[in-house]
Homo-oligomer: A and B are copies of this chain.
Amino acid sequence: MTQTYMPHVTIPPLDPPERLLMGPGPSNPDPRVLAAMSKRLVGHLDPYFVELMDQAMGALREVYRTASHHTLPISATGSGGLEAIMMNLLEPGDGAVVCITGYFGQRLAELATRAGADVRVVEVPPGEIVDPAEVERLLEAKPAKLVAFVHLETTTGACQPIEPMVAVARRHGALTVMDCVTSLGGMPIEIDALGVDAAGSCTQKCLGAPPGLAPITVSPRAMERVKARKQKPHTWYFDFQLLFQYWGETGATKKRAFHHTAPISSIYGIHEAARLIVEEGLEARWARHQEAHETLVRGLNALGFQLFTPASHRAPTINVVSVPAGLDEAKVRSRLLEMGIEMGGGLGALTGKVWRVGVMGHNAQPERVDRFLGALGEAARAEGWRP
């Protein structure tokens, strides 16, 4: 196992190709957001930056439609935020019911298991959603501290209605945890009105910033449970109580307790992305995503393709397309990439069977969808596709 360093490397200059990112994320940010990422740095304790943190928190409260102070961008990518939620809300031995509609539901179950919880799952085939009555049966048999579900499962396109799930959890005294990685900013989510207790998302999909942060929100009810923990969470980096001391507690003075150095440039990015969202207005943004989705589906149908996800639980932001028998899906994706356009393949059980097309953030625009459709038709025909 002994090995020795030998100097050798030359690193080519950075020169990323131009891509239209129509996969499951990242999407292309608005140029204003990319420009924000390279603004000059200030210190993470600078009065200017402390104000910026407050502004970013305020902006994320707008995006989540919540008054909860406990709303901030975790210094990690989307999955880190969901890990943070699970590790803070769950103590070893706590019960958790997790809904699995695909890969990302499985991940929620994995996160809860690693946090030491006693995890029970409700799992459905790809494309389907969970019947809240199934969750209720589990909760009747044995209570749980929380019910976790994925709002919009990125691997199958299935969108789980939020309200019935919250209602079931509430009836049994459980908190609700929602993964809204693929939906936040692209379709209606109103955390306070819905009564969700904790939600986690990412920056690189419908919020329109580069990947690198995990915007989360935690209700006062859920924070009470965090504060009542019997033992500290295993994680120090994601410890909510330390994080909120750093980001400023409700009613506290501006004095902050150092925790970690915030990723300043990424905060610049989400700050600018959130400004764009507030400028546009959430309703207008949701409508724009819906229109882009409808344009996309009409175009896909005209090309002879069908969506994999049943119409009853589709969502605009991620579109999962069935690959027709006989068509080499990977070759079509390669051709598309050569034309400068990325779309996603299937993940897990759907590998090789579907494409995943995102209309997210800045890319939810008719001209971008049209360019995608034109190129997809060309690539598919070149692989022999005749509808």
Contact = CB atoms under 8 A, between A and B. Distances in A.
Interface in A297-319: none
Interface residues of A, number: 100
Interface in A31-79: 34-44, 46-49, 52, 55, 58-59, 61-62, 64-68, 75-79
A300 to B, nearest CB: 20
A10 interface: yes
A331 interface: no
A23 to B, nearest CB: 6
A368 interface: no
A232 B114 CA distance: 7
A162 B131 CA distance: 58
A38 B34 contact: yes
Interface in A322-340: 337
Contact of A21 (B43, B114, B224): B43
In the A-B complex, list the 3 residue pairs whose CB atoms are closest, starting with the nearest: A212-B263, A38-B38, A234-B234
A18 interface: yes
Contact of A48 (B16, B52, B79, B347): B16
A114 B211 contact: no
Nearest to A21: B43
A271 interface: yes
A170 interface: no
A3 to B, nearest CB: 4
A100 to B, nearest CB: 15
Contacts of A42: 16-17, 19, 21, 342
